[in-house]
Structure formats: structure tokens, C-alpha cells
Amino acid sequence: MHHRFLRHYNRTLVTNRAAKPCNVFINHRGIDTKRTVATLLYDHFYRLNLHPFLDSKNMKPGDKLFDNINGAIRKCKVGVAVFSPRYCESYFCLHELALMMESRKKVIPIFCDVKPSQLRVVDNGKCAMEDIRRFNWALEEAKYTVGLTFDSLKGNWSDVVTSASDNVIKTLIEMEGEKKMQRPKSTPMLHV
């Protein structure tokens, strides 16, 4: 079933020149996950032609950081948030998560070497109170979203990448089905 969807989805992207450039936004803490799960996810999604966004792969020197990341989040269809031990230390991670939640994107959490209960925003005095409020709200939303858990000492990277990919594909299939159901149906003409 996934293969049929991917063939249809890829044909639609090829024929639709106005297709959005990013379907899957990968939110992660680079220091913890860029060389492991984040890049593996990106490469896997890319091979499936799902148009992923990963900052280190989609941005080049001179790009405006917030403009590109915010634009990618607003245009994406689904987000994958890779939570890790130092995730909450990053303003950028928390900003991206908050923007995905505020934009009402479907977010698939992956708790990598961290439990949801361990995720907390630290108020070190560097963030505005409004940002702290946004970040706390977004973290709470993510903590209470069914996600994947992964222990890098015991787990298999391939398994978590495959599981995340399956969840993203299922989400895209559901979204495509919902979009089809929302399209106005033509009303039959009455012949008198």
C-alpha cells in the first residue's frame, strides 16, 4: 500500500510544478543527533522522494536562518521532532517546535535517549517570557503526543528510521485522503 501511495504521490509532485518544496520538516538538536538519526531520517525520506528539510542539507551559506526555517515549517505537511538529552538547551529547537505546534502541523515525536518527562524548558534569563510560555506549551503538546522511543545503546537505528518513515507515510496518506474528501463534489445537473 505504501508503494502505491509513493508512486502516486511522486507522480503528483512531478506533474504539479507548484508543489511545496518541503513535505517533512526534521526538528532536532544537531549536537546530539545530526550525525545519527537526523541525517538517517533525511536520507531515507529523500530516497522516498518525500522532500525532507534538514537545516544542514537544505540551507547554504548566506541563507537567512529564521526566514528559511520558518518558511520550511509553514510549508511542510508533517514534522518529525527528534528529542534528545540537550534538545531543550537550544532556542532554535524550541522555536521550531513551537512554530510547528502553532501552525497546527502533525508532529511525530521521537524520544531519543530521553524520556518525555525529562523534557523541560530552562529559564536561563536569555529568553523573553513570551518565548518561555510558547516553548513550555509546545513541549507539553509534544509530550502528550504518541511518539517513538529509542535507546541508542540498545536499539537499531534502522528500526527507528523505518518506523518513523512508516508513520510519516501513513500521515501523508491520511492527509491526502482528507484533502480528497474536502474537495467540492460536482452536483449533477437535472435534465428537465
3 state SS for the chain? CHHHHHHHHHHHHHHCCCCCCCCEEEEECHHHHHHHHHHHHHHHHHHCCCCEECHHHHCCCCCCHHHHHHHHHHHCCEEEEEECCCHHHCHHHHHHHHHHHHCCCEEEEEEECCCHHHCCCCCCCCCCHHHHHHHHHHHHHHHCCCCEEECCCCCCHHHHHHHHHHHHHHHHHHHHHHHHHHCCCCCCCCCC
Q: How confident is the model at residue 153 (pLDDT cuts 50, 70, 90)?
A: very high
The single residue of 89, 96, 102, 174 carrying the catalytic annotation is: 96
Per residue in 23-41, pLDDT (tens digit) is 999 999 988 888 889 999 9
* pLDDT confidence band for 4 (50 / 70 / 90): low
More confident residue, 79 or 11: 79
- Cβ pair 77, 19 in contact under 8 A: no
Q: What is the pLDDT of residues 72-120, one digit of tens each?
A: 999 999 999 999 999 999 999 999 999 999 999 999 999 999 999 999 9
Confidence of residue 65 (pLDDT cuts 50, 70, 90): confident
**Residue 66's pLDDT is what?**
83
39 versus 55: which is more confidently predicted? 39
Q: How far is CA 21 from CA 49, 71, 107, 128, 132, in A?
A: 11, 10, 18, 32, 30
Q: What is the mean pLDDT of residues 48-59?
A: 86
Q: Is a pLDDT exceeding 50 seen at residue 12?
A: no
How far is residue 124's CA from residue 177's CA, in Å, rounded to a whole number? 44
Looking at every residue in the chain, the average pLDDT score rounds to: 85
Q: For this structure, is 141 an active site residue?
A: no
State what percent of residues in the chain have pLDDT above 70: 84
What's the pTM value of the predicted model, to 2 decimals? 0.82
Compute the distance between CA of residue 172 and CA of residue 184 in angstroms, rounded to an integer.
Answer: 20
| 9 pLDDT higher than 80 | no
CA of residue 136 relative to chain centroid, distance:
18
